[in-house]
Structure 1
């Protein structure tokens, strides 16, 4: 009789399984919501920014010649608009990669006149120098982000690739009185270098709401040894505004300080300071 009795436990078992599945779905949804909430609203999963840096460069050039050291006075060049591209990727909730690229290309010309001492003799004369400078800096770094709420702080380490090319020409007329002599010279030359250097970065992001965010960032590149030595520092503070969910406008004010020294048979120095506003179109996903 017991073998042929109908099984009455099956409906109860089905209900139990259905409830367990429903509970699992709810728990999974809650876990997914918690994972989503762990990402700071000040950060994006993927973003790309393209724009320009509007600046008035301050430059100083110096180098060795066969007649001695020549240094140009510090000078303000005409305003320049420099292209710049940035990109960021967030991996998980606190790990990220960032990319930054900008290019500076500008001509420079100056006239110098005065007195100096050459081989123990007082001399006077004039110098005309023209130069064309091109710098490209690409930086890739890993960032560790702290903070899950509206504030996020990032610390980054990475590498920067710097390519520098300078070409120029110069002419001079020099005369001395003891003994009386006069001579002139002219010449042109060019040099280019490409180096890798480590970089350190700091960043802060703050979300005011879904559409407006504030940020500040700073980075430093240091290169020791080799044909090119020196450092590059930069910093910026800015605001992001997203009238659309995935498209926004970024405005900031920043500074780039570049100090490079070229070693070789004849050394050369470059001191370049770029300050001014930048504007970007930012797309986020």
Structure 2
């Protein structure tokens, strides 16, 4: 595995590369970092050049102090590593970034794999917005450690965590979230939104797209997945059973096989 840090405008991005072949870039979601994909490393890097990285403000990447663009950061990483015809795999917020990037740089992206993705321009329910705001309020009032504990024990966010029955998976997710580098390090408004928003441009995506959602995810996320499936013409949707928001941690063997089958069958026939 090769690790590095890439200088970007007013910041640095951590990245790790393993394997050889066509490029697959994994993009984590909120409250996570590149290590949330640990269960994918061996399976994917046996067939592809696998790139994991920490978004700005997460993991080993720098904390933003000025406005920045996740799409620009990803472009800088792809350019630096001299990648082309990449497959983007995005979880949650990372899925939204993958969609935005595919719309901005469609000549660079071969396929999309979107795991319970957000969609830029798809407004969150008020309750979800409030629960997210509470994380920052708790951070100011209680400090980082107690705010993280409040997040983990908040019943609203239960869909993020594997059930008690899946002890190993639950421990992995909690460990990743307890990393203070992954929790509310910067004001979300610093992340510049792409305009026009992706929600009204989904029909422009014509590359093979796989949408993965779980049966126990939040209803809002299920609806977002269905919207993507309807509006992206060349898309397929897989619903993983007995999983929540992070199926690649909860059922990694099943998830990995679904992705590898899509990459070998759907793309080769495109």
TM-score (norm 1): 0.21
- Going by fraction, where is helix more abundant, 1 or 2? 2
Higher-RCO chain (CA-CA 8 Å, sequence separation at least 6): 2
Task: With the length of structure 2 as denominator, give the TM-score of the two structures.
Answer: 0.22
- Which protein shows a greater Rg? 1
The structure richer in strand per residue is 1
